[in-house]
Amino acid sequence: MPPGAPDRHRRPVIHRLVLWNVDLTLVDVAKVARAAYAEAFRKVTGRPLVQLPPMAGRTEPEVFFEALALNGGDLRDAGRSERLLAPFIGELAESLAARRDQLRADGRVLPGAAASMAALAEAGGMVQTVLTGSSRPNAILKLRAFGLDRHVDFTVGGYGSEGYPKGALVRVTRERAQEKYGVSFADRATVYIADSPGDVVAAGNGGARSVAVASGRATSAALREAGPDAVLPDLTDTARIVALITAP
């Protein structure tokens, strides 16, 4: 290769870790998820799921334990409740997988999600992964149903079924990415894109920047009150998203 000639095979220098929340940030599959939750809950507990707790910004274990309380479960036996969690996570994954065709029929990609992920990939120097309340199989299933998995490295992601608070998951995910890619991601080089005030707080607790998107249940005002680095109405302004992620 002549001196100074561009090396087309050289990998771009990685300088940003982008953590995507899944539900109500990238996709809306709430209708299908509710049905899967109800089926899994009934199979594991023997009780109907009459009331499903709010899920925004929460992990599958958090939702499960609150669902137990709301639907007549006896939480005095903490050991039994804990023993039900792993079977529930497994049943939920199976129930959602059985509804993969419904995900596309009854769910949707949120505006700008695909274009934003593609724009970040095109910008180069990014590792895109997920930090989500879902288990890994469910996160992959939800994004793959809409072709949003192509730019995501799921091997370094953080998942609700791991049992960590989301703030700790930010740090866990960063450590995984650093080990795999041989790059040290500073706090400002890690950005969590999510739709709930709880996720904004989690980003801060994990030492990351946050971009809040008002595509979920929270208003822009509520998101702003949580203290993110930026608040967007949706993901349609891809140029601004790239600028926010790459800002020094």
Same domain, 212 and 100: no
Q: Give per-residue pLDDT as tens, 149-188.
A: 999 999 999 999 998 889 999 999 999 999 999 999 988 8
- 79 and 165 assigned to the same domain: no
> Cβ-count burial of 189 within 10 angstroms (0-12 exposed, 13-18 middle, 19+ buried)?
buried
Q: Do 155 and 199 have their domain in common?
A: yes
Last residue of a domain, one of 41, 70, 104: 104
Give me the number of domains the chain comprises.
Answer: 2
Look up the domain containing 182 and give its range: 16-28+108-246
Residues 120 and 194 in one domain: yes
Computed over every residue of the chain, the mean pLDDT equals 90
CATH of the domain at 121: 3.40.50.1000
State residue 72's pLDDT score: 73
For the packed helices 238-246 and 113-123, what is the interaxial angle rounded to 10 degrees?
A: 50
**Residue 157 sits in the same domain as residue 212:** yes
Vertex 139 angle, CA 49 and 61, to 5°: 45
| Of 86, 104, 122, the domain-final residue | 104
With a pLDDT cut of 70, the percent of the chain lying above it is: 92
- Domain final residue, candidates 104, 120, 145: 104
pLDDT digits (tens, 9 = 90+) for 49-108: 888 888 777 888 888 888 888 887 655 555 667 888 899 999 999 999 999 999 999 999
Same-domain check for residues 121 and 96:
no
Whether 34 is in a domain gets the answer yes
CA–CA gap between residue 33 and residue 41 (Å, rounded): 12
Residues 130 and 214 in one domain: yes
Residue 3: is its pLDDT beyond 70? Answer: no
- Helix/strand/coil percent split, the chain, to 5: 50, 15, 40
**Residue 209 falls inside a structural domain:** yes
pTM: 0.89
